[in-house]
Structure 1
Amino acid sequence: MTTNTLEGKVALVTGGGRGIGAAVVRRLAAQGADVAFTFQHDEGRAKETADAVTATGRRAVAIQADSADPAAVAGAVDRTAAELGRLDILVNNAGAFLLGPIEELGLEAFEETVAVNVRAPFVASQAAVRHMAAGGRIINIGSNVAERAVFPGFSLYAMSKTALVGLTKSLGRELGPRAITVNLVHPGATDTDLNPADGPNAATINGFTALGHYADPADVAATVAFLAGPDSRYITGATVNVDGGFTI
Protein backbone atom coordinates (compact mmCIF):
# COMPACT_ATOMS: atom_id res chain seq x y z
CA MET A 1 0.00 0.00 0.00
CA THR A 2 1.40 3.39 -1.00
CA THR A 3 1.06 6.71 0.74
CA ASN A 4 0.47 9.88 -1.19
CA THR A 5 3.49 11.65 0.25
CA LEU A 6 5.19 14.50 -1.56
CA GLU A 7 8.39 14.45 0.48
CA GLY A 8 11.32 15.69 -1.58
CA LYS A 9 9.09 17.15 -4.30
CA VAL A 10 9.00 20.74 -5.55
CA ALA A 11 5.79 22.34 -6.80
CA LEU A 12 4.83 25.57 -8.51
CA VAL A 13 1.25 26.83 -8.19
CA THR A 14 0.25 29.78 -10.35
CA GLY A 15 -2.21 32.16 -8.73
CA GLY A 16 -1.35 30.66 -5.34
CA GLY A 17 -1.75 33.72 -3.17
CA ARG A 18 -5.43 33.30 -2.36
CA GLY A 19 -8.54 31.18 -2.82
CA ILE A 20 -8.18 27.74 -4.37
CA GLY A 21 -4.56 28.41 -5.25
CA ALA A 22 -3.61 29.20 -1.65
CA ALA A 23 -5.41 26.08 -0.45
CA VAL A 24 -3.45 24.01 -2.97
CA VAL A 25 -0.16 25.56 -1.82
CA ARG A 26 -0.95 24.74 1.81
CA ARG A 27 -2.04 21.18 1.06
CA LEU A 28 1.03 20.36 -1.04
CA ALA A 29 3.27 21.72 1.71
CA ALA A 30 1.39 19.76 4.36
CA GLN A 31 2.12 16.60 2.38
CA GLY A 32 5.82 17.38 2.25
CA ALA A 33 6.50 19.46 -0.86
CA ASP A 34 8.49 22.65 -1.11
CA VAL A 35 6.23 25.11 -2.89
CA ALA A 36 6.68 28.18 -5.05
CA PHE A 37 3.65 30.16 -6.12
CA THR A 38 2.83 33.21 -8.15
CA PHE A 39 0.64 36.11 -7.14
CA GLN A 40 -0.21 39.35 -8.89
CA HIS A 41 -1.00 42.15 -6.44
CA ASP A 42 -1.76 41.22 -2.83
CA GLU A 43 1.61 40.95 -1.10
CA GLY A 44 -0.02 40.62 2.31
CA ARG A 45 -2.02 37.54 1.33
CA ALA A 46 1.01 36.10 -0.43
CA LYS A 47 3.08 36.47 2.74
CA GLU A 48 0.38 34.68 4.75
CA THR A 49 0.45 31.80 2.29
CA ALA A 50 4.26 31.64 2.32
CA ASP A 51 4.28 31.73 6.12
CA ALA A 52 1.83 28.82 6.20
CA VAL A 53 4.25 26.80 4.08
CA THR A 54 7.31 27.58 6.19
CA ALA A 55 5.33 26.76 9.33
CA THR A 56 5.20 23.16 8.09
CA GLY A 57 8.99 23.10 7.78
CA ARG A 58 8.91 23.34 4.00
CA ARG A 59 10.48 25.99 1.77
CA ALA A 60 8.32 28.65 0.12
CA VAL A 61 9.01 31.03 -2.76
CA ALA A 62 6.45 33.76 -3.49
CA ILE A 63 6.85 35.15 -7.01
CA GLN A 64 5.04 38.29 -8.13
CA ALA A 65 4.08 37.67 -11.75
CA ASP A 66 1.33 38.65 -14.15
CA SER A 67 -0.02 35.51 -15.83
CA ALA A 68 -0.96 37.61 -18.87
CA ASP A 69 2.78 38.12 -19.49
CA PRO A 70 4.28 34.98 -21.05
CA ALA A 71 7.82 35.99 -20.12
CA ALA A 72 6.78 36.34 -16.48
CA VAL A 73 5.10 32.93 -16.54
CA ALA A 74 8.13 31.16 -18.01
CA GLY A 75 10.37 33.11 -15.65
CA ALA A 76 8.41 31.89 -12.63
CA VAL A 77 8.95 28.30 -13.73
CA ASP A 78 12.67 28.76 -14.22
CA ARG A 79 13.03 30.65 -10.95
CA THR A 80 11.28 27.84 -9.07
CA ALA A 81 13.67 25.25 -10.46
CA ALA A 82 16.67 27.48 -9.78
CA GLU A 83 15.79 28.41 -6.18
CA LEU A 84 14.32 25.09 -5.06
CA GLY A 85 16.62 22.87 -7.07
CA ARG A 86 14.10 21.03 -9.24
CA LEU A 87 10.49 21.02 -10.40
CA ASP A 88 8.18 18.03 -10.05
CA ILE A 89 4.66 19.47 -9.94
CA LEU A 90 3.05 22.32 -11.87
CA VAL A 91 -0.46 23.47 -10.97
CA ASN A 92 -1.86 25.90 -13.54
CA ASN A 93 -4.40 27.67 -11.36
CA ALA A 94 -4.23 31.40 -12.17
CA GLY A 95 -7.32 32.57 -14.00
CA ALA A 96 -9.17 35.55 -15.43
CA PHE A 97 -12.90 35.59 -14.64
CA LEU A 98 -14.53 38.07 -17.01
CA LEU A 99 -18.27 37.68 -17.51
CA GLY A 100 -20.97 39.49 -19.47
CA PRO A 101 -23.29 39.33 -22.47
CA ILE A 102 -21.31 38.41 -25.56
CA GLU A 103 -22.23 41.62 -27.36
CA GLU A 104 -20.69 43.60 -24.50
CA LEU A 105 -17.42 41.71 -24.21
CA GLY A 106 -14.76 43.62 -26.12
CA LEU A 107 -11.56 42.30 -27.63
CA GLU A 108 -9.63 43.50 -24.60
CA ALA A 109 -11.61 41.11 -22.39
CA PHE A 110 -11.11 38.35 -24.94
CA GLU A 111 -7.36 38.89 -25.10
CA GLU A 112 -6.96 38.98 -21.32
CA THR A 113 -9.04 35.85 -20.80
CA VAL A 114 -7.21 33.85 -23.44
CA ALA A 115 -3.82 35.13 -22.28
CA VAL A 116 -4.34 34.08 -18.66
CA ASN A 117 -6.59 31.02 -18.99
CA VAL A 118 -5.12 29.43 -22.13
CA ARG A 119 -1.74 30.86 -23.09
CA ALA A 120 -0.32 30.93 -19.57
CA PRO A 121 -0.96 27.20 -18.89
CA PHE A 122 0.59 26.37 -22.26
CA VAL A 123 3.66 28.53 -21.62
CA ALA A 124 4.08 27.28 -18.05
CA SER A 125 3.77 23.65 -19.14
CA GLN A 126 6.22 24.20 -21.97
CA ALA A 127 8.75 25.68 -19.56
CA ALA A 128 8.09 23.09 -16.85
CA VAL A 129 8.72 20.00 -18.94
CA ARG A 130 12.25 21.22 -19.58
CA HIS A 131 12.88 20.70 -15.85
CA MET A 132 10.69 17.67 -15.08
CA ALA A 133 11.96 14.13 -14.81
CA ALA A 134 9.92 10.92 -14.84
CA GLY A 135 7.14 11.16 -12.28
CA GLY A 136 6.41 14.80 -13.06
CA ARG A 137 2.88 16.11 -12.69
CA ILE A 138 1.01 18.87 -14.53
CA ILE A 139 -2.43 19.70 -13.14
CA ASN A 140 -4.65 22.25 -14.84
CA ILE A 141 -7.47 23.98 -13.00
CA GLY A 142 -10.52 24.46 -15.20
CA SER A 143 -14.17 25.07 -14.33
CA ASN A 144 -17.33 23.01 -14.37
CA VAL A 145 -18.97 25.65 -16.60
CA ALA A 146 -16.93 24.12 -19.40
CA GLU A 147 -19.27 21.12 -19.12
CA ARG A 148 -22.57 22.70 -18.06
CA ALA A 149 -23.54 26.24 -19.03
CA VAL A 150 -26.43 27.07 -16.71
CA PHE A 151 -26.12 30.84 -16.48
CA PRO A 152 -25.83 33.48 -19.23
CA GLY A 153 -22.74 35.59 -19.56
CA PHE A 154 -20.18 32.79 -19.24
CA SER A 155 -19.41 32.26 -22.94
CA LEU A 156 -15.90 33.73 -22.91
CA TYR A 157 -14.86 32.16 -19.62
CA ALA A 158 -16.32 28.75 -20.51
CA MET A 159 -14.61 28.80 -23.89
CA SER A 160 -11.23 29.46 -22.28
CA LYS A 161 -11.65 26.68 -19.73
CA THR A 162 -12.82 24.24 -22.39
CA ALA A 163 -9.51 24.80 -24.18
CA LEU A 164 -7.79 23.19 -21.21
CA VAL A 165 -9.50 19.89 -22.02
CA GLY A 166 -7.65 19.72 -25.33
CA LEU A 167 -4.38 20.84 -23.77
CA THR A 168 -4.67 18.25 -21.00
CA LYS A 169 -5.48 15.33 -23.27
CA SER A 170 -2.85 16.18 -25.86
CA LEU A 171 -0.10 16.79 -23.34
CA GLY A 172 -1.07 13.62 -21.50
CA ARG A 173 -0.50 11.68 -24.72
CA GLU A 174 2.71 13.53 -25.58
CA LEU A 175 4.32 13.30 -22.16
CA GLY A 176 3.16 9.79 -21.26
CA PRO A 177 6.32 8.13 -22.65
CA ARG A 178 8.30 10.36 -20.27
CA ALA A 179 6.17 9.23 -17.28
CA ILE A 180 4.82 12.76 -16.79
CA THR A 181 1.09 12.86 -16.19
CA VAL A 182 -1.25 15.71 -17.11
CA ASN A 183 -4.73 16.04 -15.61
CA LEU A 184 -7.51 18.60 -15.31
CA VAL A 185 -9.60 19.51 -12.27
CA HIS A 186 -12.94 21.22 -12.82
CA PRO A 187 -14.01 22.96 -9.59
CA GLY A 188 -17.61 23.96 -9.13
CA ALA A 189 -18.90 26.70 -6.86
CA THR A 190 -16.19 27.20 -4.27
CA ASP A 191 -16.26 29.52 -1.28
CA THR A 192 -13.75 32.21 -2.26
CA ASP A 193 -13.57 36.00 -2.33
CA LEU A 194 -14.86 36.02 -5.91
CA ASN A 195 -17.81 33.71 -5.22
CA PRO A 196 -18.60 33.56 -1.50
CA ALA A 197 -20.86 30.83 -0.19
CA ASP A 198 -23.11 33.50 1.36
CA GLY A 199 -23.21 35.66 -1.77
CA PRO A 200 -26.39 36.88 -3.51
CA ASN A 201 -26.42 34.00 -6.03
CA ALA A 202 -25.48 31.23 -3.63
CA ALA A 203 -28.98 29.85 -3.10
CA THR A 204 -29.55 29.55 -6.85
CA ILE A 205 -26.18 27.90 -7.42
CA ASN A 206 -26.76 25.48 -4.56
CA GLY A 207 -30.02 24.49 -6.19
CA PHE A 208 -28.13 23.19 -9.21
CA THR A 209 -25.70 21.23 -7.06
CA ALA A 210 -26.49 17.65 -6.02
CA LEU A 211 -24.86 18.09 -2.60
CA GLY A 212 -26.61 21.43 -2.12
CA HIS A 213 -23.67 23.52 -0.96
CA TYR A 214 -20.43 25.16 -2.03
CA ALA A 215 -17.05 23.47 -1.85
CA ASP A 216 -14.40 24.60 0.55
CA PRO A 217 -11.13 25.43 -1.27
CA ALA A 218 -9.59 22.56 0.69
CA ASP A 219 -11.89 20.14 -1.13
CA VAL A 220 -10.37 21.11 -4.46
CA ALA A 221 -6.86 21.11 -2.98
CA ALA A 222 -7.30 17.54 -1.76
CA THR A 223 -8.00 16.34 -5.30
CA VAL A 224 -5.05 18.28 -6.69
CA ALA A 225 -2.79 16.78 -4.02
CA PHE A 226 -3.92 13.27 -4.94
CA LEU A 227 -3.18 13.90 -8.62
CA ALA A 228 0.22 15.31 -7.63
CA GLY A 229 1.19 12.23 -5.66
CA PRO A 230 2.42 8.71 -6.42
CA ASP A 231 -0.98 7.05 -6.06
CA SER A 232 -2.16 8.78 -9.26
CA ARG A 233 0.70 7.46 -11.39
CA TYR A 234 -1.66 5.64 -13.82
CA ILE A 235 -4.03 8.58 -14.33
CA THR A 236 -3.36 10.97 -17.20
CA GLY A 237 -5.44 13.00 -19.64
CA ALA A 238 -8.33 12.81 -17.18
CA THR A 239 -10.86 15.42 -16.10
CA VAL A 240 -12.01 15.28 -12.49
CA ASN A 241 -15.08 17.31 -11.49
CA VAL A 242 -14.97 18.62 -7.92
CA ASP A 243 -18.35 20.32 -8.10
CA GLY A 244 -20.71 18.56 -5.71
CA GLY A 245 -22.61 17.02 -8.59
CA PHE A 246 -23.30 20.25 -10.51
CA THR A 247 -22.64 18.55 -13.82
CA ILE A 248 -24.59 15.32 -13.28
Structure 2
Amino acid sequence: MEFTEIEYYLQYCDKLTVNDQALIIRANSELVLNALRRCWKSVIEIAQKQKRDTAFIYLGDAERPYYKIYDWFLQMEENQSQSQEINPELPAPTGLDLIAPYLKNADEIRVLEFMKEKISEGLIVIITSQIDNRCRFTSKSLKPERAFWTPEQFVNYDYLKSWDIDQIGRPSQEYERMRALLDRDSFIPGYEYSLRRPKPDLALCRYRTDYYHVADGWGGEPIRIGVSHPDDWQLLQPAVN
Protein backbone atom coordinates (compact mmCIF):
# COMPACT_ATOMS: atom_id res chain seq x y z
CA MET A 1 0.00 0.00 0.00
CA GLU A 2 1.42 3.37 -1.02
CA PHE A 3 1.16 6.45 1.18
CA THR A 4 1.40 10.10 0.36
CA GLU A 5 4.02 11.97 2.36
CA ILE A 6 1.45 13.50 4.71
CA GLU A 7 -0.27 10.13 5.23
CA TYR A 8 3.06 8.53 6.06
CA TYR A 9 3.90 11.02 8.83
CA LEU A 10 0.37 11.13 10.23
CA GLN A 11 0.84 7.47 11.12
CA TYR A 12 3.23 8.69 13.80
CA CYS A 13 0.76 11.12 15.33
CA ASP A 14 -2.08 10.72 17.79
CA LYS A 15 -5.59 10.64 16.38
CA LEU A 16 -6.43 14.01 14.83
CA THR A 17 -8.91 16.12 16.78
CA VAL A 18 -10.55 19.51 16.38
CA ASN A 19 -11.62 22.20 18.80
CA ASP A 20 -13.55 25.41 18.27
CA GLN A 21 -10.49 27.04 16.67
CA ALA A 22 -8.34 24.52 14.90
CA LEU A 23 -7.30 21.09 13.77
CA ILE A 24 -5.07 19.55 16.48
CA ILE A 25 -2.13 17.33 15.53
CA ARG A 26 0.20 15.79 18.12
CA ALA A 27 3.48 14.52 16.67
CA ASN A 28 5.46 11.89 18.56
CA SER A 29 8.90 13.24 17.65
CA GLU A 30 10.69 16.35 16.37
CA LEU A 31 11.35 14.49 13.11
CA VAL A 32 7.61 14.11 12.51
CA LEU A 33 6.94 17.63 13.79
CA ASN A 34 9.24 19.18 11.20
CA ALA A 35 8.05 16.83 8.46
CA LEU A 36 4.52 18.12 9.02
CA ARG A 37 5.85 21.64 8.70
CA ARG A 38 7.23 20.73 5.26
CA CYS A 39 3.81 19.31 4.34
CA TRP A 40 2.02 22.44 5.53
CA LYS A 41 -0.26 22.73 2.49
CA SER A 42 -1.57 19.20 3.00
CA VAL A 43 -2.02 19.94 6.70
CA ILE A 44 -4.17 23.00 6.01
CA GLU A 45 -6.18 21.04 3.42
CA ILE A 46 -7.05 18.52 6.14
CA ALA A 47 -8.04 21.38 8.44
CA GLN A 48 -10.28 22.88 5.76
CA LYS A 49 -12.02 19.52 5.30
CA GLN A 50 -12.81 19.72 9.01
CA LYS A 51 -14.18 23.26 8.47
CA ARG A 52 -11.26 24.85 10.32
CA ASP A 53 -8.94 27.55 8.99
CA THR A 54 -6.06 26.82 11.38
CA ALA A 55 -3.94 23.84 12.37
CA PHE A 56 -2.01 23.55 15.65
CA ILE A 57 0.89 21.09 15.70
CA TYR A 58 2.11 19.96 19.11
CA LEU A 59 5.09 17.89 20.17
CA GLY A 60 3.74 15.03 22.26
CA ASP A 61 1.52 16.11 25.13
CA ALA A 62 2.89 19.66 25.30
CA GLU A 63 0.37 22.28 26.40
CA ARG A 64 1.48 24.82 23.80
CA PRO A 65 1.56 24.37 20.02
CA TYR A 66 4.98 24.33 18.39
CA TYR A 67 3.65 25.40 14.99
CA LYS A 68 0.52 27.25 13.97
CA ILE A 69 -0.56 27.04 10.34
CA TYR A 70 -3.25 29.37 8.95
CA ASP A 71 -5.14 28.98 5.70
CA TRP A 72 -4.24 32.57 4.75
CA PHE A 73 -0.63 31.39 4.34
CA LEU A 74 -1.74 30.02 0.97
CA GLN A 75 -2.76 33.48 -0.23
CA MET A 76 0.33 35.00 1.38
CA GLU A 77 2.59 32.68 -0.60
CA GLU A 78 0.82 33.58 -3.84
CA ASN A 79 1.12 37.31 -3.06
CA GLN A 80 4.82 36.94 -2.28
CA SER A 81 5.37 35.19 -5.61
CA GLN A 82 3.69 38.06 -7.42
CA SER A 83 5.79 40.55 -5.44
CA GLN A 84 8.93 38.67 -6.46
CA GLU A 85 7.98 39.06 -10.13
CA ILE A 86 7.63 42.83 -9.63
CA ASN A 87 10.77 43.24 -7.52
CA PRO A 88 13.18 40.34 -8.09
CA GLU A 89 15.93 42.01 -6.05
CA LEU A 90 14.19 40.99 -2.81
CA PRO A 91 13.99 37.21 -2.33
CA ALA A 92 10.39 36.21 -1.64
CA PRO A 93 9.80 33.82 1.26
CA THR A 94 8.27 30.48 0.39
CA GLY A 95 5.24 29.03 2.11
CA LEU A 96 7.58 27.02 4.28
CA ASP A 97 9.09 30.24 5.64
CA LEU A 98 5.65 31.25 6.90
CA ILE A 99 5.43 28.29 9.27
CA ALA A 100 7.36 29.53 12.26
CA PRO A 101 7.70 28.39 15.86
CA TYR A 102 4.93 29.82 18.05
CA LEU A 103 6.79 31.91 20.61
CA LYS A 104 4.09 33.92 22.38
CA ASN A 105 4.34 31.92 25.61
CA ALA A 106 7.99 30.90 25.25
CA ASP A 107 10.28 31.14 28.25
CA GLU A 108 13.70 32.80 28.17
CA ILE A 109 15.52 29.55 27.39
CA ARG A 110 13.31 28.91 24.37
CA VAL A 111 13.83 32.50 23.18
CA LEU A 112 17.61 32.14 23.45
CA GLU A 113 17.51 28.84 21.54
CA PHE A 114 15.46 30.48 18.80
CA MET A 115 17.86 33.42 18.58
CA LYS A 116 20.87 31.11 18.39
CA GLU A 117 19.22 29.09 15.61
CA LYS A 118 18.42 32.16 13.49
CA ILE A 119 21.82 33.77 14.02
CA SER A 120 23.53 30.52 12.99
CA GLU A 121 21.59 30.74 9.71
CA GLY A 122 23.17 34.13 9.04
CA LEU A 123 19.99 36.07 9.73
CA ILE A 124 19.62 39.36 11.59
CA VAL A 125 17.90 39.13 14.97
CA ILE A 126 16.65 42.24 16.76
CA ILE A 127 14.75 42.27 20.05
CA THR A 128 12.62 45.29 20.88
CA SER A 129 10.53 46.03 23.97
CA GLN A 130 6.79 46.08 23.39
CA ILE A 131 6.53 48.54 26.28
CA ASP A 132 8.92 51.38 25.41
CA ASN A 133 10.01 50.33 21.88
CA ARG A 134 13.67 50.38 22.86
CA CYS A 135 16.14 47.91 21.42
CA ARG A 136 17.21 45.17 23.82
CA PHE A 137 19.48 43.18 21.49
CA THR A 138 20.88 43.37 17.95
CA SER A 139 22.90 40.55 16.38
CA LYS A 140 26.28 41.23 14.82
CA SER A 141 24.89 40.23 11.42
CA LEU A 142 23.38 43.73 11.11
CA LYS A 143 25.86 45.75 9.05
CA PRO A 144 26.22 49.57 8.97
CA GLU A 145 25.56 49.71 5.22
CA ARG A 146 22.02 48.54 5.99
CA ALA A 147 21.36 50.42 9.22
CA PHE A 148 24.05 53.18 9.41
CA TRP A 149 24.86 52.26 13.04
CA THR A 150 26.69 49.22 14.41
CA PRO A 151 24.73 46.62 16.43
CA GLU A 152 26.22 47.90 19.69
CA GLN A 153 24.97 51.42 19.00
CA PHE A 154 21.38 50.22 18.68
CA VAL A 155 21.16 48.89 22.24
CA ASN A 156 18.53 51.00 24.06
CA TYR A 157 17.71 52.92 20.85
CA ASP A 158 14.10 54.14 20.71
CA TYR A 159 12.75 52.62 17.49
CA LEU A 160 9.78 54.98 17.46
CA LYS A 161 12.24 57.56 16.12
CA SER A 162 12.78 55.38 13.05
CA TRP A 163 9.08 54.52 12.64
CA ASP A 164 8.39 58.27 12.49
CA ILE A 165 9.17 58.27 8.77
CA ASP A 166 7.53 61.65 8.10
CA GLN A 167 9.32 63.21 11.09
CA ILE A 168 6.10 64.58 12.55
CA GLY A 169 6.46 63.20 16.07
CA ARG A 170 4.41 60.01 15.68
CA PRO A 171 4.97 56.57 14.15
CA SER A 172 3.70 55.58 10.73
CA GLN A 173 0.54 53.62 9.97
CA GLU A 174 2.79 50.65 9.13
CA TYR A 175 3.93 50.63 12.75
CA GLU A 176 0.35 50.71 14.03
CA ARG A 177 -0.58 47.86 11.69
CA MET A 178 2.44 45.82 12.82
CA ARG A 179 1.43 46.19 16.46
CA ALA A 180 -2.19 45.25 15.72
CA LEU A 181 -1.19 42.15 13.75
CA LEU A 182 1.21 41.03 16.50
CA ASP A 183 -1.51 41.48 19.13
CA ARG A 184 -3.86 39.39 17.01
CA ASP A 185 -1.61 36.64 15.59
CA SER A 186 1.68 36.80 17.57
CA PHE A 187 3.57 36.20 14.32
CA ILE A 188 3.84 38.24 11.11
CA PRO A 189 5.73 36.63 8.22
CA GLY A 190 7.52 38.83 5.70
CA TYR A 191 6.21 42.17 6.96
CA GLU A 192 7.27 45.05 4.69
CA TYR A 193 7.70 48.54 6.10
CA SER A 194 9.79 51.71 5.91
CA LEU A 195 12.09 53.20 8.56
CA ARG A 196 14.29 56.25 8.92
CA ARG A 197 17.85 55.35 9.83
CA PRO A 198 19.20 57.04 13.00
CA LYS A 199 20.52 60.60 12.99
CA PRO A 200 22.48 62.13 11.41
CA ASP A 201 21.85 59.83 8.43
CA LEU A 202 18.01 59.77 8.34
CA ALA A 203 17.93 57.88 5.02
CA LEU A 204 14.55 56.28 4.31
CA CYS A 205 14.79 52.53 3.74
CA ARG A 206 12.40 49.68 3.01
CA TYR A 207 12.75 46.45 4.97
CA ARG A 208 11.13 43.03 5.24
CA THR A 209 11.05 41.19 8.56
CA ASP A 210 9.42 38.22 10.27
CA TYR A 211 8.02 39.47 13.60
CA TYR A 212 7.39 37.28 16.65
CA HIS A 213 5.62 38.39 19.82
CA VAL A 214 6.84 36.93 23.12
CA ALA A 215 4.62 37.74 26.11
CA ASP A 216 7.15 37.53 28.95
CA GLY A 217 10.16 35.51 27.82
CA TRP A 218 12.74 38.29 28.24
CA GLY A 219 13.08 38.83 31.95
CA GLY A 220 9.30 39.14 32.24
CA GLU A 221 9.15 41.89 29.61
CA PRO A 222 6.93 41.57 26.51
CA ILE A 223 9.07 41.80 23.39
CA ARG A 224 8.95 41.47 19.64
CA ILE A 225 11.68 39.58 17.83
CA GLY A 226 12.49 40.73 14.32
CA VAL A 227 14.25 38.25 12.03
CA SER A 228 15.39 39.24 8.56
CA HIS A 229 17.83 38.38 5.81
CA PRO A 230 20.76 40.84 5.57
CA ASP A 231 19.86 41.60 1.93
CA ASP A 232 16.15 42.24 2.58
CA TRP A 233 16.28 46.02 2.35
CA GLN A 234 16.21 48.86 -0.18
CA LEU A 235 17.28 52.51 -0.03
CA LEU A 236 14.27 54.70 -0.88
CA GLN A 237 15.69 58.13 -0.11
CA PRO A 238 19.38 58.88 0.48
CA ALA A 239 20.81 60.36 3.64
CA VAL A 240 19.79 63.88 4.61
CA ASN A 241 22.64 66.31 4.04
Give the structure-1-normalised TM-score: 0.23
The structure with the larger Rg is 2
Whose strand proportion is higher, 1 or 2? Answer: 2
Give the structure-2-normalised TM-score: 0.23
Whose helix proportion is higher, 1 or 2? Answer: 1
